[in-house]
Structure 1
Amino acid sequence: MSLDRTIRWRGLDPVTLEHCHVISTPRDTRIRGTVITPGYGLFYRIKLDDTERVRTVRVERTDGRVLELFSDGAGNWSDDRAEPLPALRHCLDIDLWPTPLTNSLPLWRCQWVIDQPQRFAMAWIDGDEMTVRRDEQIYTQIDATHFRFQNADGFDRLLEVDADRLVVDYPGLFERAG
């Protein structure tokens, strides 16, 4: 993947504004974003390796709270003190709330066949609470610009994406801004 783009999203519930930049080369992908929520500001950095697997993620809030995670790219995670996080074993991607950017991670990494669901174990990061937990998710490509997103809690949305597989519309939660 080769990409050098700035994207902005507007969160609908709660109302947020996000500015994100993605730079991808044959060597790695680096993502930096800022989200302004009603209660805090959040800055995130994500680094993917050359196979589009998450290697590092840092989430920092304006109140000083920080969450930093490291992966070996094979689904083994540790925190910023090098303590293993066994609950995240086999998670290759992250899903960070409150941004739709991380929905692109499994879309970039995998080969897709129309109407063939793929299941993912995600390291789900809650920016409100600054916690991380495992979350099982399913993505199904519907056509060139739509993916169905489902999680184990019964949440289900039809995401619209652009040619770079970045979210354009996430019904009820996010829409592209400008």
Structure 2
Amino acid sequence: MKPVVWQGVRWTSTEYFTLESKGLYQLAQSNITGVIRELPFSIHYEVELTNDWKTDSFYIRSYGPDARELRVTSNLLGQWYDKDGNQITAFDDCLDIDISLTPFTNSLPVKRLQLQPGQSADINVIYILLPEFELQKVRQRYTMIRDNYWLYENLDSGFSARLSFDEHGIMNDYPGYLQRRY
């Protein structure tokens, strides 16, 4: 798949994203730079996925004076583990992740759920607020409106958005937040 570039609309940012097939798994990698909530950021993330779009692990690193990193792995059954192998029970029953600064992680449930038009699914996700590195369990709903068009709802906050995806299930636009430039 060719690289994707998203540009922030609500905040200043540019993201350069790639997704590569590695045989038995896929590797998503990205670099995002910009300014949000008056905080400059430079973030690199990697998400390792099974070929049926289950999140196996993710790694996030920020650069700069307050550099941080986070590595979390999954058993693919809704249990998550920190870099030392300790279970993070607060995220039990989460199969997907949602990284705040990127539209890519919306592709994870869209591709994994395989819904038909008119169908919806409620899921629990690990929401990662960046650049703060705050993690929380969030309830979300995805409804397939028609091919490549979905309604996303955050069931905890009441936020919703209509999202469009390309033929590969990668987001085109997140209205008011991010636009695909390449």
Question: One fold, TM greater than 0.5?
Answer: yes
Query: Once the two structures are superposed, what CA deviation does each residue of 1:9-49 show, in whole Å capped at 9, x if it has no partner?
Result: 00111111000000135511100000012111000000012
Counterpart of 1:149 (choices 135, 152, 157) is 152
* Aligned residue in 2 for 1:74: 77
Structure 1: gaps spanning 5 or more residues = none
Q: What is the distance in 1 between the residues matched to 2:125 and 2:169? A: 18
Scaled by the length of structure 1, the TM-score of the pair is 0.94
Task: Say whether 1:168 aligns with 2:172.
Answer: yes
Root-mean-square deviation (CA), in Å?
1.2
Aligned residues: 175
Counterpart of 1:23 (choices 20, 25, 31) is 20
Contact 2:62/2:131, CA 8 A, preserved across alignment: no
Q: What is the distance in 2 between the residues matched to 1:118 and 1:5? A: 29
Scaled by the length of structure 2, the TM-score of the pair is 0.92
Contact 2:16/2:30, CA 8 A, preserved across alignment: yes
Q: What is the distance in 2 between the residues matched to 1:110 and 1:123? A: 17
Q: What is the distance in 1 between the residues matched to 2:50 and 2:164? A: 26
Letter aligned with residue 55 of structure 1: D
Structure 2: gaps spanning 5 or more residues = none
Counterpart of 1:110 (choices 113, 121, 124) is 113
Contact 1:5/1:23, CA 8 A, preserved across alignment: no
Q: What is the distance in 2 between the residues matched to 1:131 and 1:89? A: 17
Q: Which aligned pairs between 1:11-90 and structure 2 lie closer than 5 A?
A: 11-24=8-21, 27-38=24-35, 39-63=40-64, 64-90=67-93
Identity between Structure 1 and Structure 2 (%) = 25
Q: What is the distance in 2 between the residues matched to 1:80 and 1:29? A: 20
Q: What is the distance in 2 between the residues matched to 1:121 and 1:174? A: 23
